Amino acid sequence: MLTFTEEILLLLLGEEDGAFLPVNSNAFECALAGATLMDLAFALRIDTDLESLIVLNENPTGLAMLDRILARIATHPEVMDAQSWVRLLAREEANTIREQALASLVDRGILEQRERRRVEHYPMRDGTAQREIKLHIREVVLADDIPDPRDVVRIALCDACSIFPEVLSEREIEQATPRIRQLRIMDLIGREVAGAIAAIQRTMLMAVRARLARFRRYVLALAAIGGIATLATVLAPRIPVPDRFGPTLLERLWGDGAWQEWSGYVLLALSVLGFAAASLRRMRFAAKIGDQNWWRVMHVGLGLSCVLLLFVHTGFRLGYNLNAVLMGCYLAALVSGAFAGILMGGATQLRRFGFAQAGRLTRLPMRVHVIALCTLPALLVIHLLIVYLY
């Protein structure tokens, strides 16, 4: 039988290319920690109450991944509650849990390990297990039967990682949303496993939400400022070049070729860094610097600094001919990126207003963002050629 950790990893792998689906890394890390603790609880190795998580039985389960965590809990010098353990394991053990679970799935012959463009991929060797898990979850969610406690855990994990869109159609999600909400808070598990699972589940969801909320606030704030600044670039009246001779800052910024050259290159560097922050965040080395949310905040922050540098470089002037096209595409990339950031960062608030699928709304601005970005290399090279050739 697969562990919850293995099941959640299987659900997060793309069927065709074996790459991980885009999922919030904080939620993912908390889900891995929670899943491990719930595996231990189902194996009757740990129990929880409001104030503490205690070890009932130190005997190994036979699974290296679970036994290592069990040993860590057993030898920990102080007693902590479930919430603290979820946070600690999410922070310190998530990567190891993930790698061990993947290795276990490879050993079981379900996955195979490949590397493409320095990113590890895990294509399915045998897709049966994944299909069966998806089918089972679908049946549980869409049926009216009282679910098995393990199913309740699976649903909580799927909800924590927002992977229902990979399992259910849009219409099915709409239909199943009330039941998912109900199952998530069911106390069935408490009766079966002495309340440990329920506590871990609640803790895990709380931890996920708390960590997400913090990053979402950053993303929302930065994206909102960036969006407003970008719209101001388009709509605000042009700031005239000062009509006073002298080394004024604005005169130099928009009248001195050397200054414009510098501001242009700084803008280019920030744009490249922003692109790198978005595209490298899934690389292994990037995880050592910061988790995916940290990289996302960096990406949005760099986007905001690009808006400011764009003002320094152009003074809200939209340009002429191909320069106007370049400016248009650049602004489209910034506006769509800011809009996607606002939707992503404000997902919680949007849900309160009834937009249950706020995450899906980001798809259109993200597409516009990517398309606009695709045009930039050519337009930038042309811009530089025009400047240096004439």
Partner 1 sequence: MSTVGTLVAVGVVVVLMMVGGDRRALLIGATTDAHHQLEMACETCHAAPAFADAETAKNELNKTCRKCHEDALDDADDSHSRKRFRSPRMAAYREKVDARYCTSCHVEHRPDITRASAVTVAMDFCVACHSEGEQDIRATRPSHEGLSFDTCAGCHNYHDNRALYEDFLVRHAGQPWLKAEPVHALSAQYRAWEPPEESAIGPGAVAAPAVALADAAIVAHWAGSGHAEAGVACADCHAPDFAEGGLQGDVEAAWTDSPSVSVCRDCHRQEVRTFALGRHGMRQHPEIAVPREPGQGLATLGVDATLPETISARLSDPVPPTHMHAAEARLPMRIDAPTEPLDCGTCHDSHAVDIEHAAVAACASCHDDLHTRAYFGSPHHALWLKEQAGEAALGTGVSCATCHMVKGKRRGKVTTDHNQNDSLRPNEKMIRPVCLDCHGLAFSLDALADTDLVSRNFAGRPAVHVESIEWAVRRAEPPDAGR
**Binding stretches for partner 1 (CB under 8 A):** 238, 240-246, 251, 254-255, 257, 317, 319-323, 374-375, 377-379, 381-382, 385-390
β-strand pairing of 53-55 with 119-121: unpaired
Is residue 229 a contact partner of residue 306, using CB atoms and an 8 Å limit?
A: no
CB of 237 to partner 1, least distance (A): 12
CB of 263 to partner 1, least distance (A): 16
CB of 21 to partner 1, least distance (A): 23
> Of 142 and 234, which CB lies nearer to partner 1 in the complex structure?
234
Q: Per DSSP, what are the bridge partners of residue 53?
A: 48
> Of 54 and 385, which CB lies nearer to partner 1 in the complex structure?
385
| DSSP 3-state of 146 | coil
Say how many CA atoms lie within 13 Å of 147 toward its Cβ. 26
In sequence order, what are the residues at sequence separation of 6 or more whose Cβ sits closer than 8 angstroms to the Cβ of residue 214? none
CB of 385 to partner 1, least distance (A): 6
Is residue 168 a contact partner of residue 138, using CB atoms and an 8 Å limit?
A: yes
> Of 114 and 238, which CB lies nearer to partner 1 in the complex structure?
238
CB of 95 to partner 1, least distance (A): 32
**To 10 degrees, what angle do helices 292-314 and 322-345 make?**
150
10 Å Cβ neighbour count for 20? Answer: 17
CB of 254 to partner 1, least distance (A): 7
CB of 317 to partner 1, least distance (A): 6
Q: What are phi and psi of 101, to 5 degrees?
A: -65, -40
- Cα–Cα distance, 198 to 358 (Å, whole number): 27
CB of 229 to partner 1, least distance (A): 21
Q: Which helix or strand (DSSP H or E) is residue 121 part of?
A: strand 119-121
- Cα–Cα distance, 279 to 136 (Å, whole number): 34
CB of 272 to partner 1, least distance (A): 14
> Of 222 and 310, which CB lies nearer to partner 1 in the complex structure?
310
> Of 249 and 322, which CB lies nearer to partner 1 in the complex structure?
322
> Of 164 and 254, which CB lies nearer to partner 1 in the complex structure?
254
CB of 320 to partner 1, least distance (A): 5
Is residue 369 a contact partner of residue 340, using CB atoms and an 8 Å limit?
A: yes
> Of 178 and 246, which CB lies nearer to partner 1 in the complex structure?
246
> Of 75 and 321, which CB lies nearer to partner 1 in the complex structure?
321
- Cα–Cα distance, 316 to 300 (Å, whole number): 21
> Of 52 and 375, which CB lies nearer to partner 1 in the complex structure?
375
In sequence order, what are the residues at sequence separation of 6 or more whose Cβ sits closer than 8 angstroms to the Cβ of residue 5? 32, 35, 36, 39, 65, 97, 101
> Of 285 and 320, which CB lies nearer to partner 1 in the complex structure?
320
- Cα–Cα distance, 46 to 59 (Å, whole number): 11
- Cα–Cα distance, 357 to 246 (Å, whole number): 55
Is residue 152 a contact partner of residue 42, using CB atoms and an 8 Å limit?
A: no
> With the C-alpha atoms ordered 368, 369, 370, 374, is the resulting torsion angle positive or negative?
positive
DSSP helix, strand, coil percent of the chain (3-state; round to 5): 70, 5, 25
